[in-house]
Structure 1
Amino acid sequence: MRTYLYMIRHAVSPFVVGNERERGLSEQGKADAVRINEILAVEGIGYLVSSPYKRAIDTLQIMADTGRLEIKLYEELRERAIASTEREIDDQVIMEGIRQSFADKDYTMPGGESTRDAQKRAIPVIEQLIQQHAGSKIALGTHGNIMTIIMNYFDDKYGYEFFTQISKPDIYKLEFEGMKLILAERLWSKGND
């Protein structure tokens, strides 16, 4: 029985130091959320789940309203903090930390979370969703780093290079046979970037 998990990376959200959970979408992000709903309207998605972060929820909200679906929040699906979010860190330092964290899944920067630890908290929820909703289509409002970490668990070809190529927003349709990932298809086309 095939189960489909739609990984929906949130749309553009202005960065504010120390406000990781409550950042909403920019005007472009709101427009992209409308486009996401249009793209996925034909997919027949029956369940919506999300990170508890506002930008991930807001990206799914139009789908929820249109389909009269509840968005179930999971703390375990929050974004991975590669380092402390209480102070601004140079983007190059962050990207190098992310690169190292895929090369060594136990690597972490001060105040951050390793890839392995992020997988330990997120994967049980993903497996539970696949088991509980076997044969269904589930949309997940997510973030770039944790999305890549989850996909990496099922296929290690999804690592740092993949992370550097995804956009905000982005959509990947993952097809599972039981707990085995058999196909990943990008639905957010380059023309939408």
Structure 2
Amino acid sequence: MNTILYLIRHAESPYMAGKELERGLSPKGQQDAERVKLILHNEKCDHFYSSPYARAISTIRPLAEERKQTIQLIDDLRERTIGDISGTGFYEAKRAVYQDFTFSFPGGESSAAAQKRAVRVVEQLLNQHAGDSIVIGTHGDIMTLLLNDFDPFYGFDFWQSASMPDIYKAEFTILQLNRITREWSEQSY
């Protein structure tokens, strides 16, 4: 009995300093959230969970509304806080936290800590909803760290190549990952 996990990275969201929790989607992001719904229209989607960040919720909301499902928010699915990266470029800072999973910038969260909290949630969901399909509204780092726990291929280069939004379908038998496929492309309709 396979359990399907759809990890949906949020759509485009304009950066606003100090507004991580409440920043929503750009107009393009809103259009892409509708495309997410179209791409997964024929897929079984039994349960909806999300990071509490507005951009993650808004990306899966059209699909959840189409299914007449509520989205349950889980704080441990929130994006990783990178911390004070003064004097370090954004991409260099991201590379550093992926190269050393125990490293964190002041006020930030290491890859190991973020991965641990997110994996704990996913394992609970896989056990709770065995045989079902689960949609998770998430973020680039958390999606990458979740996949990395099952396959070390998923690291900095993968994070850097992921789009906004992005959809990855992970198929599990109990807690054993069987296959990961990408369901999103700019040509998907």
Would you say 1:11 and 2:7 are equivalent positions?
no
Q: Are 1:172 and 1:188, in contact at CA under 8 Å, matched by a contact in 2?
A: yes
**Percent identity between the aligned chains?**
46
In 2, the alpha carbon distance for the partners of 1:43 and 1:157 equals 26
Q: Are 1:10 and 1:143, in contact at CA under 8 Å, matched by a contact in 2?
A: yes
Q: Of 120, 132, 135, which residue of structure 2 is paired with 1:136? A: 132
1:52-91 mapped onto 2 (5 Å cutoff): 52-84=52-84
1:94-109 mapped onto 2 (5 Å cutoff): 94-109=90-105
The residue number in structure 1 matching 2:179 is: 183
Instruction: Tell me which stretches of 4 or more aligned residues in structure 1 moved more than 3 Å.
Output: none
Compare 176-185 and 29-38 and name the one that shifted more: 176-185
Secondary structure at the residue paired with 1:97?
Answer: helix
In 2, the alpha carbon distance for the partners of 1:182 and 1:103 equals 26
In 1, the alpha carbon distance for the partners of 2:86 and 2:33 equals 28
In 1, the alpha carbon distance for the partners of 2:148 and 2:82 equals 16
In 2, the alpha carbon distance for the partners of 1:12 and 1:77 equals 18
Secondary structure at the residue paired with 1:189?
Answer: coil
Would you say 1:161 and 2:153 are equivalent positions?
no
Q: Are 1:47 and 1:137, in contact at CA under 8 Å, matched by a contact in 2?
A: yes
Which runs of 5 or more structure 1 residues have no equivalent in the other structure? none
Secondary structure at the residue paired with 1:36?
Answer: helix
Q: Of 112, 118, 125, which residue of structure 1 is paired with 2:108? A: 112
Q: Are 1:97 and 1:108, in contact at CA under 8 Å, matched by a contact in 2?
A: no
Would you say 1:20 and 2:20 are equivalent positions?
yes
What is the Cα deviation at residue 110 of structure 1? 1.4
**Deviation by residue 1:145-186 (Cα, 9 ceiling, x = unmatched):** 111011111111100011111000000001111111121100
What is the Cα deviation at residue 3 of structure 1? 0.7
Q: Structure 2 length as normaliser, TM-score?
A: 0.95
In 2, the alpha carbon distance for the partners of 1:31 and 1:190 equals 12
What is the Cα deviation at residue 89 of structure 1? 5.7
In 2, the alpha carbon distance for the partners of 1:45 and 1:89 equals 42
